[in-house]
Amino acid sequence: MTENALSVTALGQKVAIPQHPDQAILEKVPNPHPEDAYVARFTIPEFTSLCPVTGQPDFAHLMIDYVPGKWLVESKSLKLYLFGYRNHGAFHEGCTVQIAKHLIELLAPRWLRIGGYWYPRGGIPIDIFYQHGELPGGVWAPEQNVAHYRGRG
């Protein structure tokens, strides 16, 4: 991850997909409205990583909500960072919480939450929720409303 917030390296460029999240360049840009409290949301319906035991793919629907302070995450760098998990072996809890912590470290948001809605492994879906800070008063954060896994049929 980079602390360089004034130049974005991926936007408008052809960039290779990182093979690991630690190889990604997660970037921030100045918030054009730092005086206002508002929620920015990223919905990632096709997130993938690898099971660290079997090496088989794991699939999740991630939802990231945050109230920015001085910084916004640059969306293309976020997309490439998340692609880096495709070859990364970690449990659901590890991936979900690591993503939140990387964003908190980079952005210092006023508030952040992530919902990781993982598809079943061994017949049991695992949902992971992480929150940093308190939602500022008067700010509307809509429910995540990700459909729970209902099985086949």
Catalytic residue ranges = 51, 58
Terminal Cα-to-Cα distance of the chain (whole angstroms): 42
Spatial CA neighbour of 10 closest among 71, 83, 64, 66: 83
Structure tokens at 6: 């004034």
**What distance lies between CA 51 and its chain's CA centroid?**
18
Residue written as token pair 């990182």: 18
